[in-house]
Amino acid sequence: MNTNDQIRTVVFDVDGTLFDTLPSLAAAANEVLVLAGLQAIEPQHLRPALSQGITALFQSALRLQTASVPLALASRLEKAFQQRYASHWLHKAVAYDGALELLSMLRSQGIALGICTNRDQDSTRTLLDKAALTGFFDVIVGLGDAEHPKPDAAPLHLALTQLGATPQTVLFVGDSGIDAACAQAAGVRLAAHLGGYAANPDDLRPYVVAFSDYAEFHSWMAARTSTQSTAETTHHV
């Protein structure tokens, strides 16, 4: 892929990229675990599993128990966790500072926007609705929409197809090794959010830009889109 190709489309991951969801997910998981007489798990120990989805996070919490959890009990607890999270904790996650301003700027520059996540559609839309971000996105691809989840390229390819975009003009914004592998498999450039949930920043390589907060990424994208707009104006004169 050519890192100098113009960016026409930006696709975002959700957990650890647009939203800081780990605190609310860990709280819901620990409520269910403690009520069942099991151990609460420190949120940082659940971080690596979150990039694989909500279910993977809770399954990780079960594996981290000092004693193995019977399969039947694990299944009941997983359902209880999903219900508790949806009813009491989902709406408490917050978007990262600066995300709204970035999305507004990209939209003003005519950049198409999409979502590609291993989170289910319903909870993804709930998060976006609460933060008043849903209207920014033309396409939302969630868990189960493609044949395989990330890190397979299928969900990102589906998002690109629905957006009418080609890989050469797309930037994927993610925070995990799974996002990096998905981007590479799809032939798409990656913007790495270092303020997310990756256990090791090197897991995010290769990327074209890395940022710790959205102010940094906003500046980088503003410079790129401004250059593109100037080049297009010059070309059409």
Under 8 Å between Cβ of 228 and 7: yes
Query: 3-state DSSP: the chain helix, strand, coil percent, rounded to 5?
Result: 55, 15, 35
Tell me how far apart the terminal alpha carbons of the chain are, to the nearest angstrom.
Answer: 29
- What does the alpha-carbon distance between residue 96 and residue 211 come to, in Å, rounded to a whole number? 13
- What does the alpha-carbon distance between residue 72 and residue 52 come to, in Å, rounded to a whole number? 22
Catalytic residue among 5, 13, 15, 202: 13
Under 8 Å between Cβ of 10 and 99: no
Reply yes or no on whether 13 is catalytic: yes
CA angle (118 as vertex; 117, 124 as ends), nearest 5: 60
Q: Which residues are catalytic?
A: 13
